[in-house]
Amino acid sequence: MHDQRDGRDGRDGNDCGHDHGGGSHQHGPSGSEFLELELSRMLYSRASEVAKEVAVEILRDAVRERLRERIGDKLRAIGRLAADELAEDVAVNLEIEARIAAHMQRGMGVGARLEAAIAQTARGDAPETPARAGRSRRRRR
C-alpha cells in the first residue's frame, strides 16, 4: 500500500481537484489548476473531430451544388408546390379557428338567452329563436 506521507494518496494538498479530461486528476503544486499539461493532445483530438465535421459539410455543399445543377428547377417547383399547399392549409385552419372563436364568443351570451326563453315559456309565450326573431321583426313593420 501507499505510505500516506509520500503524497500519492491525494491528501497532501497538491491535488488540484479539477478534472482535466479522461476522468483523471493531475497533481501539481497549489495554484497550478489552470495548467493543461496535455493541452496539445486535447486540441489535436478536437481538431480531428472538427475536421470530420467540416468534411461532411463540404460533402453536403457538393451534393447541394450538383443537385442544383442537375434538377434544381424541378426541386424548386416541387418546393413551391409544397409551400403553396402548406399556405392553403394554414389559411383554412386560421379561418376555422376564427369561426370557432366567434361561435364560442356567441355561446357566452347563451345564459341570458336561456333565461329569457325560460321566462317567456313561463308566461306562455313561445321562445323566440333567432330565425323567428327575424320573421317577427319583418311582420311588425
Domain boundaries, the chain: 4-115
Q: What's the whole-number mean pLDDT along residues 111-126?
A: 81
Retrieve residue 135's grid coordinates. 320573421
**CB 36 within 8 Å of CB 20:** yes
Q: What's the whole-number mean pLDDT along residues 28-41?
A: 75
Which pairing describes strands 25-27 and 15-19: parallel, antiparallel, or unpaired? Answer: antiparallel
Residue of 37, 42, 18 whose CA lies nearest to 10: 18
Q: What is the pLDDT of residue 13?
A: 45
Query: Is the pLDDT reported for residue 98 higher than 80?
Result: yes
Question: 22 to each of 14, 25, 47, how far by Cα in Å?
Answer: 19, 9, 17
